[in-house]
């Protein structure tokens, strides 16, 4: 007689799916737990590193009372494979240090203990700081660096503003195309001193339907025009962000920003929150008045740096 065999159908599809889901959940829990442990380890590493850096500065200041070291290397603090430093020396013993490990950034000053965050003007979490090269980006105190183009006139206005207290009001009589607002050749032109792409952007408000263009122009160090790029746009009656990429700028060149009319018609429009960054990316507007940003000189009359926003 033939022997009877048991029926072994194996796992069903539903059972296999349940196993896969359970494995995925366990993997997710493991990843979250690992990330949490790693983040705490990074935070502990930078906090300890900052405390040690402060002690080394204090030892240095025993021989240099009421002074601030110009560089951390002077006191034996250098980047390692685990921790990198950003340093801002002040005067009369003041300083601020940012230490970063992984995505953890902590700061310390001459009067505070290590805490989560960065010194103003420093990058965060391993992402380098960027610089807004415009020295008067929001026209808060005056019109330094800006000038009219052709028959246009301009003035600081507190009636309209995208942020802060004011914007630039530009009035074109419609005598010619390309009337508008210029970043003036000379003190107003910005330069990163680094070869590569430069992104120019601005917030503009004009009557709906107005045809305008934003220009990014490259000038040689002697002020000679090299080349330019432009983006045309149609105003919508509200504040709108516009940008243009000026690529392959020479390290010795400078970049100017212009916002001009694109038709022969009289118009009044407003410009605010202008940026030029050494990048091919459009970043959210920021200057030295924003959290974690700092002016690289006199407020509203200097470039400013900070983490991308």
Q: What are the phi and psi torsion angles at 277 (to 5°)?
A: -125, 150
Residue 224 placed within a domain: yes
pLDDT at 207: 97
What token pair was written down for 276? 């030029």
pLDDT at 34: 59
Q: Which of 120, 151, 174 is the last residue of a domain?
A: 120
Residue 250 placed within a domain: yes
Q: Across residues 295-306, what is the average pLDDT?
A: 95
Q: Are residues 151 and 228 in the same domain?
A: yes
Residue 80 placed within a domain: yes
Q: Can you point out the beta strands (E) in 83-224? A: 84-89, 95-101, 104-109, 115-116, 130-132, 146-149, 153-157, 167-172, 180-183, 196-205, 211-219
Highest mean pLDDT among 2-6, 97-101, 261-265 belongs to: 97-101
Residue 1 placed within a domain: no
Cα–Cα distance for residue pair 171/269, rounded to 1 Å: 7
H or E element, residue 54: helix 13-63
pLDDT at 69: 96
CATH code, domain with 225: 2.60.120.260
Q: Are residues 61 and 158 in the same domain?
A: no
Cα–Cα distance for residue pair 101/290, rounded to 1 Å: 24
Determine the 3-state secondary structure of 75 from DSSP: helix
Residue 3 placed within a domain: no
Residue 45 placed within a domain: yes
pLDDT at 37: 60
Q: Are residues 163 and 74 in the same domain?
A: no
Q: Are residues 175 and 244 in the same domain?
A: yes
246 DSSP β-pair partners:
198
Q: Across residues 78-101, what is the average pLDDT?
A: 95
Q: Are residues 173 and 298 in the same domain?
A: yes
Number of domains forming the structure of the chain: 2
Q: Are residues 285 and 147 in the same domain?
A: yes
Which of 119, 120, 137 has its CA nearest to residue 190?
A: 137
What token pair was written down for 78? 């250098």
Cα–Cα distance for residue pair 307/129, rounded to 1 Å: 4
The pLDDT tens digits for 240-266 are 999 999 999 999 999 999 999 998 889
Q: Which of 68, 96, 120 is the last residue of a domain?
A: 120
Residue 125 placed within a domain: no
pLDDT at 85 over 70: yes
pLDDT at 81 over 60: yes
Residue 101 placed within a domain: yes
The pLDDT tens digits for 10-60 are 667 776 777 788 788 777 776 665 566 677 888 889 999 999 999 999 999
Q: Are residues 116 and 140 in the same domain?
A: no
Q: Are residues 226 and 142 in the same domain?
A: yes
pLDDT at 211 over 90: yes
Q: What are the phi and psi torsion angles at 13 (to 5°)?
A: -60, -40
CA distances to 61, 69, 89, 92, 95 from 66, rounded to whole Å, are 7, 10, 12, 5, 12
Q: Are residues 26 and 160 in the same domain?
A: no
How is residue 4 annotated by DSSP? P
Q: Are residues 88 and 196 in the same domain?
A: no
The pLDDT tens digits for 122-142 are 999 989 999 999 999 999 999
pLDDT at 290 over 90: yes
Cα–Cα distance for residue pair 304/271, rounded to 1 Å: 19
pLDDT at 56: 96
pLDDT at 186: 75
The residue range of the domain holding 207 is 132-306
Q: Across residues 58-82, what is the average pLDDT?
A: 94
Cα–Cα distance for residue pair 78/107, rounded to 1 Å: 16
259 DSSP β-pair partners:
181, 214
The pLDDT tens digits for 173-209 are 998 889 999 998 777 899 999 999 999 999 999 999 9
Q: List the Cα angle 105/107/109 in 5-degree steps.
A: 170
The model's pTM is: 0.82
Q: Are residues 209 and 114 in the same domain?
A: no
How is residue 66 annotated by DSSP? T
What token pair was written down for 107? 């700061």
pLDDT at 40: 81
Q: Are residues 105 and 55 in the same domain?
A: yes
């Amino acid at each position: 007689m033939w022997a009877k065999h048991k029926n072994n159908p194996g796992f069903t599809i539903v059972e296999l799916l349940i196993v896969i889901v359970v494995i995925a959940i366990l993997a997710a829990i493991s990843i979250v737990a690992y990330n949490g442990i790693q983040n705490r380890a990074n935070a502990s590493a930078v906090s300890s590193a900052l405390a040690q850096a402060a002690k080394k500065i204090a030892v240095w200041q025993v021989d240099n009372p009421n002074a601030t070291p110009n560089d951390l290397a002077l006191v034996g603090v250098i980047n390692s494979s685990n921790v990198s430093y950003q340093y801002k020396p002040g005067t009369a013993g003041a300083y601020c240090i940012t230490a970063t490990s992984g995505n953890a950034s902590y700061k310390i000053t001459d009067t505070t203990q290590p805490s989560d965050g960065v010194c103003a003007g420093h990058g965060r979490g391993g992402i380098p700081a960027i610089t807004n090269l415009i020295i008067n980006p929001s026209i808060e105190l005056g019109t330094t660096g800006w000038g009219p183009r052709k028959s246009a006139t301009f003035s600081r206005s507190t009636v309209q503003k995208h942020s802060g207290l004011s914007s630039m009001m530009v009035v074109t009589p419609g005598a010619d195309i390309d009337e508008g607002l210029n970043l003036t050749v000379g003190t107003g032109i910005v330069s990163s001193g680094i070869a590569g792409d430069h992104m120019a952007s601005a917030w503009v408000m004009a009557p709906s339907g107005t045809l305008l263009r934003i220009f990014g122009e490259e000038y040689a160090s002697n002020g000679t025009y090299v080349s330019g790029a432009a983006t045309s746009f149609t105003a919508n009656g509200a504040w709108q962000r516009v940008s243009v990429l000026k690529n392959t700028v020479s390290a010795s060149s400078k970049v100017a920003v212009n916002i001009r009319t694109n038709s022969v018609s009289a118009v009044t429009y407003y410009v605010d929150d202008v940026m030029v960054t050494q990048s091919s990316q459009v970043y959210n507007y920021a200057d030295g008045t924003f959290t974690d940003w700092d002016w690289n000189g006199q407020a509203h009359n200097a470039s400013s740096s900070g983490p991308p926003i």
